[in-house]
């Protein structure tokens, strides 16, 4: 296997672990703050962290690294952000009610992997 494939697999594994961890943290926050507020706050605080990173990149590299963001790209980014809020809010609402195990089994079933139980 090529080195680039191994790196990609390690990154995919780390992302998968991160998604599971984020779901658990979001559910814990959702019990305290409610699903909609949790979805909004998670995305807002993630945006603040992204803003800090972008400011650091701007100070280090100048405005050139932002040249790829044009009108259509900005529209896509806005829609993706709104979708992220909906996904987190929906997961925070649904997972405590149906359980993570049942949600995972339904996901696997809907993707044609019926051999999982």
Q: Is residue 61 part of a domain?
A: yes
Q: Is residue 17 part of a domain?
A: yes
Nearest alpha-carbon partner for 96 in 12, 25, 42, 47: 25
Q: Is residue 116 part of a domain?
A: no
d(CA 31, CA 97): 11
Sign of CA dihedral 11, 14, 20, 24: negative
In tens, the pLDDT along 40-91 reads 999 899 999 999 998 998 888 887 877 778 778 888 988 998 998 898 888 8
Phi, psi of 89 (to 5 degrees): -60, -45
Q: Is residue 57 part of a domain?
A: yes
pLDDT surpassing 90 at residue 10: yes
Q: Is residue 117 part of a domain?
A: no
Task: Classify 62 in phi/psi space as left (phi over 0), alpha (psi -120 to 50) or beta.
Answer: left
Task: Read off the pLDDT of each residue in 6-30 and give the average, rounded to a whole number.
Answer: 90
Q: Is residue 56 part of a domain?
A: yes
Return the pLDDT at 9: 93
To the question of pTM greater than 0.85 for the whole model, the response is no
Q: Give the count of domains, the chain.
A: 1
> Could you tell me the residue range of the domain that residue 44 belongs to?
3-110
Sign of CA dihedral 28, 40, 95, 18: negative
For residue 1, what is the DSSP state? -
Q: Is residue 46 part of a domain?
A: yes
User: What percent of the chain has pLDDT above 90?
Assistant: 29
Q: Is residue 26 part of a domain?
A: yes
């Amino acid at each position: 296997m090529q080195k680039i494939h191994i790196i990609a697999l390690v990154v995919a594994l780390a992302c998968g672990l991160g998604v599971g961890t984020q779901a658990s943290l979001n559910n814990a926050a959702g019990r305290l703050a409610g699903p909609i507020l949790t979805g909004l706050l998670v995305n807002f605080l993630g945006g603040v962290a992204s803003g800090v990173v972008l400011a650091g990149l701007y100070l280090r590299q100048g405005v050139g690294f932002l040249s790829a963001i044009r009108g259509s790209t900005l529209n896509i980014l806005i829609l993706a952000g709104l979708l992220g809020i909906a996904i987190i809010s929906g997961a925070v609402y649904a997972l405590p009610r149906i359980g993570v195990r049942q949600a995972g089994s339904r996901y696997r079933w809907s993707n044609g992997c019926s051999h999982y139980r």
